[in-house]
A and B are shown apart, each in its own frame.
Chain A
Amino acid sequence: MIASARPVLLATLSELDRRKNELEMLCDALTSCPVGDPVTAPRPVLSSPQHGFVTTTIWLSSWLEEAWKASMKYLLGQALRVQVDPVEAEQFRHVLGRLRTFFAHNLDPSNTRDRSTRDTCYAWFKDACGSRVPGDDQWERCLEALLESALRCLQLAIDVARAIEGHPDSGTLSNMWRDRLSRTDVVVNYLGELQRAAGDLGCEGLNLNQIRDRYSKRWAEALSLIPANTDLDAATTRHMEQALLAETGRLLPVTAQDVMERLVLAPGESVEVALRLAQVLHSLKPAMDSASLLESLVGNWGQLQGQLGLIRFDGHS
């Protein structure tokens, strides 16, 4: 069956490529920015329908939901403003995310969220091919439906971008698009900023690519929240440095239990703060063993408590 259907699927894939280029150019024309990061996930392999469906899901997800996430979110968010109905495209994005989770993770049926993911996927399969659990001869219909939905979603984003171009507030809308992109890895060179921060902290030897990959989603989300008049560079540096500090904390010769016992602390945020203080003390004198570190901690803890007044780290003052 796949042999006869393949031309249709390939044609849809090719159309997706064409549309992709179109949106890339539109974004460049309106914002002078790339529409998103390059898509590094391999193109789908359509050697068998089921395998093709899984690889297409992963490819589309890493394209639309990761690399182009900021632009897609922005464009669909402006759809109503330019009289385009975004509902189907938003549903598709939601389903695409669920399908990816469905294929890429072990789902626990007793977990309500996982259960919901399964139910969403079952319902989508039922709509696409008539069965909640597609059989061998039904995967191709699912694949066709998936690609067509992706194409419609992309077309809608293009429609919105073109409408922005012709809108009376085109300048404002384009600026907003650029502003969204300017907080992400698409525009900000996260790796470069990280290298600069690591240099300042004297930890260039770290695997910064790995740290960037681990933190970039969090950074993008955090930076997307800050107001327009905030110093974006300073905010970016703060996040980078915070990540580096978290990554380079020293392994202590004492445990939280030792600290609780010695400082007579109940479990809570004060224990975390005391351990951080222990880290600082240990950094200053790495040769200290556990006993001398605890001794030093007791002295410094009492001194700091006195200096800081009545701050209690459970949030009451």
Chain B
Amino acid sequence: MTAQYEDLISRLEQGPSFLLLGQKYLRLESGEDPLVGPVSRSVENLAYAPDLYSLLSKVRDDTREAVLATLARAAAELTAPAWLNVVLDLPWNGVFGTAVDSLFLRALRNDWRQVQPVAASSFRPSTPRSTNQVQAVLLFGGADQPPENQPPTGRLGLGARKVEARALAQRLPDELITPRGVLVIEAWGADDWFDSEDLYGVLSRLGHGQAHLFSVGSAELDDEFLAAAIAEGTLVAHAEDFASYVEEARRRGRLTDLQRFDSGGHRIRHGREFHEVPRGIWDAVTPFGQPIDANLLAAPPVQSQELRYLRFREFLGATESSNIWSAISSGLAFRRDYEADLRDRVDTALTSRGLLERPLLLEGQTGSGKTIALASLAYSVAREGQHAVLHVPRRAIRPSFEAIDSFCEWVENTSIKTTLLVWDGMVDPDEYFRLAKYLDARGRKAVLVGSCYRSNERRTRQVVEAPASLVSGEMARFAQHLESLGITISDRDRPLIQKDNTFLSALYRLLPESRGAVSGGLVLELRHTETALAAAVRTSSTYSPPSAMAAALARAGLVDSLTSALRDIGESAGASPYQGPYERLVNVVLVASRHGQSVPLELALRVVGRDGVRNLPQLLGKVDLIRWQEDRGGNYLLSARNELEAQILVTAERTSEESEIKALAELLSEVRPDSTLSGGGEVQFAVDLLNRIGPQGEQEGRFAPHFLRIADAISHANRASVVPNQRLALLETNLCRKWVKYAQRRQLSDANERAQILERAEQVVEEALATLPPSPRPGLRANLLVEQASVAGSKLYELLRSGPDGSVPSPLPVDLVNGLVDRVQRVTSDTMRVSADKYYPMDVLCWVTIDVLEKNVLPEHEATVMLSECISRLLLFDVADLSEKQEAKYNARFADLAALARDDKVADERLQELAKHDEPLAAYLYALRMSGLLRNAPVLAGVQAALTHLKSHDAAMNDRRCLRLLVDLFWLAKTGHRFMGGERLTLPLTREDWLECRDLADRLRAADELSLMRVEFMRALSLFHLGLVNAAYDAFRTAEQQSLTFRRRVVSMYMASDSSGSPLKFHPVIRQLDADQRKGRCWVEELGREVAFQTHDFAISDPGVGLALPDSHVAFNLRGPILEPARSPGGRRGPTVTSSLGVPLPSTMARRGRK
């Protein structure tokens, strides 16, 4: 056993690991290359050669095609030898081959892994280190690849291809292996096309022991380049073959870690049944989340007390998201009191799952145990086997809503009723709401639990609070928990622990690596002078800031001498003491970690310089400050153990705000986007970091003075990248705009500078929009448009305060003001049309409108037009579609605008005057006032009067504001609710009413692009009730397409009714059933066509074609008509009968408020 022999196993276990397979690989098993025979017979007169590659180098151009075709065909008929299957069964992060046949590619493909062939340096896979989408690099091309990637024949061809082979191979040291990874070389011989000189070019850029060459013979050992690499320590040579090495390691229990090595089928348990998750769904979800499958729920092995102690300490020392499942299953995690409350809430939600549930949020400050609590929740619910569970940890890769939707859909198509989604994202609550809305719109039966930082703003029933310190009985339970692990806390320390919110984080550093005298247990003695974590880090053997970091590095042998490491500390105030690459690395990682962000490895290496940190794994192993994390895409991240410890360390280091900003700006300026639209992990890092310290983050106040500097760093990053990234441009624009706002409020810079910054922001966002490629997902375009409108609004804000002492300038540049107002209106309208979240552009329009009107700079008529348009658009919103934060803003904006309107703009005499110039506007404002909508208190008489008033003005019937209002007034008058506002409402509309409804819809369709969904739903309802059922279905289809992001999309809003408001009865017969018999279509004789139904609605145990269903109603949601059993009005899921006599109108404000 040698250190290097064992080190290879460790490197293979932790990854990233790469395989270079040489041209001898088909000769290894039997000594003969099975392709030589077929290839030598493929054409006549091919000169004899003992091996395939000598043969290929003698092929003439005129026979090349035939030879390669034979080679490809013969290789396709081969079966992989046993050793190759053993080798390729490992979860490689990439396989490089110098052979030109496809057998190893085929052997690489399996149930859990797809293969991405790469034969040209012009192509770069988006996840280059992915293990389940592994790249197979064909250095000399492949016989079955497209013509441009086929292997060379003849000496000239080989010479030309070598350049490409070298370029591809250089990716190994430059981009892929990282200081932690390993390169295994097997079946390579001195006669390989990729010769020893080429190989040395790769090896010379690796660190100590990072390459291992197997099946080495004397010819290889005698080679001068390989001998040099061995002497330099980068290459380790093994006489044995790699497959035997792997099998030997496995026999000893190594290379068997389930999570990394057993990537076979994955099953979700439901009761006694197991459902295999389809590979496509598993692969789509696992880059960002973990479905809790049967493997994770397997009973943990029995452990000795000593091993439990060790595992407990490892668990405490790991990063927040790693190693968590085995710790939870082994009972190592301490259960906080609040977890019981959380579980009760989740159980209730899972049992009574209905649509439109708000996400449940677990909130608390750093170090309060949220991550463990949420993982424990996911584990315990999955273990009971009644629900599917998907856990999404806090990672650089943002969850894909589409993938989650597919997972939930698959779950529902099995016998499992509900999915529990546990997203420990620590993101803004609006993000959870967006996901819930997305899933609601698709009718998914999912309960969502999220995590967020503690906020004083939210105190709703959907929040569970995680107290930072141990409360009431927790201390006693915690002491018992530690006792069960052989750790005793003295009574003297208990009050200290109970008060100290850092204790849980500190525990790792307080516990020794080994319990030592194991039979006696361990008694923990705490220092009482400072917080546990601060004391722990101060007394830690490896760290005692500020100079001990350097001392630790010196002890680890990573800096030449302590003196040189300490050279600059204290010498000059303000100068960074982090001179050496290791110190800089630790510094930037800690600074990012204190804001909850892990740093992508490549980014960190770029900041500190790759060549300076070849021994990074040793550093991290010995200094014990920074952890690695690997995601399923093979991306590596560096972070502190947890956020709280990073905060304490950075504080203890007395890092000045200046040096912190400098480190953050340095990091951001080195971000490099990949070629995807999202920009990849580094751009996501920038986005996530700015979510904490940027304009939307909770530390905005602290960092606002530095926004411009951060924007400059991002600008530098985007300019340095090959393809500028639009997300970075969005960040830069937003930071510039927010800095201007900050500077304006505090009068920190002159107006000219602020104007220049806004010009720059405008230019950046316009360039980003111009270069943004078309995408099926409009999110980024919409965000850029919102930012563009906001910049225009900010310019307006600046302009209106550009006079002396911040007053309105005189004379006012009217054209400029009008131009900016027009721009805001136009861009926000465009955005609302394309955006999934329409509120953000609306809010921009609101604050710009309010600001302009408050400054009183527009002529009366223009001001009124602007106000009316804004109110008219606001009234298009349904508050159920808004998050809590948006809803609060909505109500505040509405109140402000209503106040502005009420001032004097809607007084009778003003409206009479206005009508002379702009009749529709006057009619609109009059109707708005009469109806009570402006006060959020509609009254039936007012609504009727307003309706009559609008209808009496022909001009109003073609004005989009009036038409929008007419729709609301019409439905308020007929049903007592705004359009699409209720649930299972009957429709007491006469034929004339329906004709009017259809006419209204047609008019609105012509006038207003923002009302398309409402228009089509109205048309569909009216056509259905007018007996034009086929046309109604067409309209429903259009409405469905328009409603993809509408939260109430699958809510049954209306019932097919007669003119008295009674629900119509139908008599359906099953005509078609889906394979799983969960849904189907019925023939409905009254309609003369099929209508959809769901079997569980009718509680049929054995549905069959031809079976007559009981009397039914037809309900309408945005996906079309659906049959429901005829339930009694007023009961659960029964119709809400509205009669033509009219019902009292509810206050819209009440409906806007939370139920």
A interface list, Cβ under 8 A from B: 77-78, 80-81, 109-110, 112, 115-116, 168-169, 172, 175-176, 179, 218, 221-222, 224-230, 256-257, 260-261, 264-268, 309-311, 313-317
Contact = CB atoms under 8 A, between A and B. Distances in A.
B621 A261 contact: no
Given A221-B247, A225-B247, A227-B31, 11 more contacts: A81-B79, A112-B274, A112-B294, A168-B37, A179-B30, A225-B82, A225-B241, A227-B29, A229-B217, A257-B519, A311-B6
13 contacts: A78-B79, A115-B267, A176-B29, A179-B30, A225-B82, A225-B86, A226-B244, A227-B215, A228-B27, A256-B304, A266-B514, A267-B304, A311-B1
Interface of B: 1-4, 6-7, 9-10, 13, 27-32, 34, 37-38, 41, 74, 76-79, 82-83, 86, 215, 217, 241, 243-244, 247, 251, 265, 267, 269, 272, 274, 294-295, 304, 306-307, 310, 513-514, 516-519, 618, 621
Contacts of B217: 229
A315 B10 CA distance: 6
A77 B81 CA distance: 9
Contacts of B4: 317
A316 B7 contact: yes
Contact of B310 (A172, A224, A266): A266
Given A168-B41, A267-B306, A257 B518 contact: yes
B244 A225 contact: yes
B28 A228 contact: yes
A230 B304 contact: no
B41 A228 contact: no
Given A112-B265, A316-B621, A172 B34 contact: yes
Given A222-B247, A228-B29, A315 B517 contact: no
B3 A310 contact: yes
Given A225-B86, A315-B6, A169 B79 contact: no
A261 B519 contact: yes
Nearest to A172: B32
Contact of A311 (B3, B9, B32, B304): B3
A163 to B, nearest CB: 12
A225 B83 contact: yes
B514 A264 contact: yes
B1080 to A, nearest CB: 26
B244 A222 contact: yes
B49 to A, nearest CB: 15
Given A168-B41, A169-B34, A225-B243, A261 B518 contact: yes
Nearest to A311: B3
B1050 to A, nearest CB: 34
B215 A317 contact: no
Contacts of B37: 168-169, 172
Contact of B517 (A115, A225, A261, A266): A261
Contact of A313 (B6, B13, B241): B6
Contacts of A78: 79
A305 to B, nearest CB: 13
Contact of B3 (A256, A261, A317): A317
Contacts of B244: 222, 225-226
A221 B29 CA distance: 13
A230 B215 CA distance: 9
Contacts of A265: 514
Given A179-B30, A222-B244, A227 B621 contact: no
A176 B82 contact: no
Contact of B79 (A77, A115, A228): A77
Given A225-B83, A317-B7, A230 B241 contact: yes
Rank and list the top 9 A-B pairs by shortest CB-CB distance, nearest first: A315-B10, A317-B3, A77-B79, A228-B31, A169-B37, A225-B243, A80-B77, A267-B307, A81-B77
B31 A260 contact: no
A190 B27 CA distance: 27
A314 B29 CA distance: 33
Contacts, number: 116
B32 A316 contact: no
A316 B295 CA distance: 29
A264 B516 contact: yes
Nearest to B78: A81
Nearest to A169: B37
B190 to A, nearest CB: 14
A317 B6 CA distance: 9
B271 to A, nearest CB: 11
Nearest to A119: B274
Nearest to B209: A317
Contacts of B247: 221-222, 225
Contacts of A221: 82, 247
B30 A228 contact: yes
Contacts of B74: 81
Nearest to B85: A225
B55 to A, nearest CB: 14
A209 B428 CA distance: 68
B964 to A, nearest CB: 57
A62 B625 CA distance: 56
A44 to B, nearest CB: 31
Contacts of B272: 109-110
Contacts of A110: 269, 272
Nearest to A74: B79
B500 to A, nearest CB: 27
Given A110-B272, A265-B514, A229 B86 contact: no
B310 A267 contact: yes
A266 B7 contact: no
A232 to B, nearest CB: 12
A112 B273 CA distance: 10
Contacts of B78: 80-81
Nearest to B4: A317
Nearest to B295: A112
Contacts of A264: 514, 516
Contacts of B267: 112, 115
B691 to A, nearest CB: 36
A316 B5 CA distance: 10
Nearest to B76: A80
Contacts of B517: 261
Given A109-B272, A310-B3, A224 B32 contact: no
B988 to A, nearest CB: 56
A160 to B, nearest CB: 11
B294 A224 contact: no
Contacts of A222: 244, 247
A67 B517 CA distance: 53
A300 to B, nearest CB: 16
A115 B30 contact: no
A276 to B, nearest CB: 11
Contacts of A226: 83, 241, 243-244
B3 A257 contact: no
B467 to A, nearest CB: 33
Contacts of B79: 77-78, 80-81
A138 B539 CA distance: 76
Nearest to A178: B30
A222 B244 CA distance: 7
A221 B248 CA distance: 11
A168 B41 CA distance: 9
Contacts of B251: 218
B294 A266 contact: no
B518 A227 contact: no
A116 B294 CA distance: 13
A268 B241 CA distance: 27
Given A81-B77, A109-B272, A112-B274, A260 B30 contact: no
Contacts of B518: 257, 260-261
A179 B244 CA distance: 17
Contacts of A260: 306, 514, 518
B516 A179 contact: no
Nearest to B215: A227
Nearest to B13: A315
A115 B9 contact: no
Nearest to A315: B10
